[in-house]
Amino acid sequence: MDLDDSLGIRKLLDTARQLQQDLARSQDELRGTSAQGTAGGGAVKVTIDGRGALQNLAISPVVADPGNAQGLADLIVSAVRAAQETMATRHEERLVPLLEALRADLRPFTD
């Protein structure tokens, strides 16, 4: 398709506008979600929001031994990473299809 074609340009602009709206809507929806991560067989549980900020931390008394501060710290870091991986997967599942649709819509302009 030739970019000089006014219908082609209009379709390209409509596609870009729709993608912008879809991305904004998806980002808003993802910001409103949360993800949980656990470590130590559930002894440490965290919840993060859609932006990745820590919202909640629960530690079982079993692992709250003052003599094992480093072990507890490692469990907390592990639980946070697990929650972040879950959130990253959700972002990917939501945004990749939008980008693939854009690629398909732009294909006529790249031929």
| Model confidence at 1: pLDDT above 50 | no
Q: Are 83 and 35 in contact (CB under 8 A)?
A: yes
Does this model's pTM top 0.85? My answer is: no
Q: Are 82 and 71 in contact (CB under 8 A)?
A: no
Work out the pLDDT band at 105, boundaries 50, 70, 90.
Answer: confident
In the chain the domains, ranked by start, together with CATH numbers, are 6-110 (3.30.1310.10)
Q: For residue range 3-58, what is the model confidence (pLDDT) as tens digits?
A: 556 777 788 788 889 888 988 998 899 899 999 999 999 999 999 999 999 999 99
What pLDDT does 53 receive?
94
| 59: its two tokens | 């530690």
Distance, C-alpha 80 to centroid of its chain:
14
Q: Which residues, in sequence order, are bridge partners of residue 48?
A: 35, 54
Among the listed residues 99, 92, 86, the one whose alpha carbon sits nearest the alpha carbon of residue 15:
99
Q: Which amino acid is at 60?
A: S
